[in-house]
Amino acid sequence: MSRIYDALQRANLERQSAQQVDPAETAKPFAVQGAEELPPVQEDVLLDEISRYAWNPSVSALPTLGDRGETIEQFRGLRTQIYQFRDQAPLKTILVSSGMPADGKSFVTVNLAMSLARNKNNTVLLIDADLRKPTLHTILGAPKLPGLTEYLAGIAQVNDILQRNKAPSIVEAGQERSIPDLTFIPAGAGGDHSSELVANHRIDELIASLSPHFDWILIDSPPALAVSDAIDLARAADAVLLVAREARTPFDFAQRAQAAFSNSRILGFVLNAVKDAPSSGSYYYYGRKEAGSGMHGGKD
């Protein structure tokens, strides 16, 4: 429970301290263009030409890479809930957000994506749209550039920003763990102009061009009460999944986060970092009686 997110924090600190700056990762400044100035979207998405890299995922941050365990069962349960929502109404693109930072939205997003991708019949796209504080590339051990920032700024096309993992498995502590074949779009360079980039409606075009090629698209967004980006991003999604952290997220913050997405379909809240979760297969709700699950996860 707390061990997982404690390990996640340690892994992130170790990775950041050991990470060296790659010249290719150095962001170059660029001007924010208006929507009328952007180049047209490249409609042909060539999935066979997606770049593959040797990812180095953080096993402690990805309990869904394992085959058994309480946290794995919780994410399987959440996956089942998502399937049930799709049976009720069309559902493919899900934006994951929270009220404030450190509630665990990135942890929930990436592990839900992994859980969905472990079903061989699912094709899954994971997008890091938290341009201010991207995390997913660190968890996956994947290149950060080029990414969503470059696409929204009009200096990269769709196929430039898509990537997949090269190796089908990873060996950690003498144990081999399979890595689901999901597609990833990192956040890219990010910067101070993220609100302007998100607001130029190019994200809608990106989702529209990629949607026919994937069964599920998960978008990790910034906290809704901290910045306005998440609200703008939600217009490109079919629904919103919110994350709250046990013993940390005030109830009024959860209510305000829910109200912020009043124009979106809200699936419900995932209660993250639960210290005394019910047995696997049991669920309880937080703020909204549609979806919820006790997760044991990180702060990102």
Residue 211 near residue 93, CB atoms below 8 Å: yes
CA distance 294 to 257: 19
Helix or strand or coil: residue 217?
A: strand
Name the residue ranges covered by the structural domains of the chain: 2-19+44-272
In CATH, the number for domain 2-19+44-272 is: 3.40.50.300
**Residue 75 backbone phi and psi in degrees, to 5:** -70, -35
Report the run of H or E that residue 175 belongs to, with start and end: strand 175-178
Tokens of 114: 């992994």
Helix or strand or coil: residue 268?
A: strand
CA distance 286 to 263: 20
User: Along the 300 residues of the chain, how does pLDDT read in single tens digits?
Assistant: 334 444 444 444 444 444 443 434 434 444 445 445 555 555 578 888 999 999 999 999 999 998 888 889 999 999 999 999 999 999 999 999 999 888 899 999 999 999 999 998 899 999 999 999 999 999 999 999 999 999 999 999 999 999 999 998 888 777 888 999 999 999 999 877 888 999 888 999 999 999 999 999 999 999 999 888 999 999 999 999 999 988 677 788 889 999 999 999 999 999 887 766 554 433 333 333 333 444 444 556
The pTM of this model reads 0.81
Name residue 60's amino acid. Answer: S
